[in-house]
Amino acid sequence: MRVGIATDHGGFALKQEILTRLKKAGHQITDFGAKELKSDDDYPDFVVPLARSVASGTVDRGIAICGSGVGAAVCANKIPGTRACLIHDHFSARQGVEDDDMNILCMGGRTIGPEVAWDLVETFLESVFSGADRHRRRLNKVALLEGGKA
Ligand code: RB5
């Protein structure tokens, strides 16, 4: 799968860990940075290019990390076509894709460890949107908000 990943300084160490594992698992990775640890960098500078890439289909899924994952999620969801969520439990990593067609997984580098994070990433990437009518109906209502039509 084509997977994009982005972080600020708050998730830098976790991103490096996840990046290594994604490559080992055979995924095609686009690294949107940060490429080096700078304690005053800003998550929008890395998360926005990732979100644009997911929304345009240049990558299939995105992983966005910051210290808590909150800023990354708030930021990514400003880009139309992005469905990003802060996920720290296995159930939501799966159902967020199956029901809500989540396309960016956000995590906190300061709040979860690498093993839990990797389980979330694997679960997120393995899951598939169900396409059920009721979920499409709900997502269509959400999509209308992006154009200011609802
Ligand atoms: C940066 O210190 C921190 O605020 C950021 O990584 C993130 O946690 C924001 O939500």
Q: How many angstroms does the Cα of residue 112 sit away from the middle of ligand 1?
A: 14
Helix (H) or strand (E) holding 6: strand 2-7
For ligand 1, atom 4: residue with the closest CA: 67
For ligand 1, atom 7: residue with the closest CA: 67
SS3 28: strand
Q: Which pTM does this prediction carry?
A: 0.97
In the chain, the domains with their CATH numbers are 2-146 (3.40.1400.10)
> Which structure tokens are listed for 23?
């490559």
For ligand 1, atom 3: residue with the closest CA: 67
Pocket test for ligand 1, best of 43, 46, 88 (most atoms within 8 A of CB): 43
SS3 61: strand
Residue by residue, DSSP assigns 102-150 as --EEEEETTTS-HHHHHHHHHHHHH------HHHHHHHHHHHHHHTT--
Tens of pLDDT along 107-135?
999 999 999 999 999 999 999 999 999 99
Distance CA 110, CA 15 (A): 11
Beta bridge partners of 18: none
Tens of pLDDT along 5-19?
999 999 999 999 999
Distance CA 127, CA 132 (A): 14
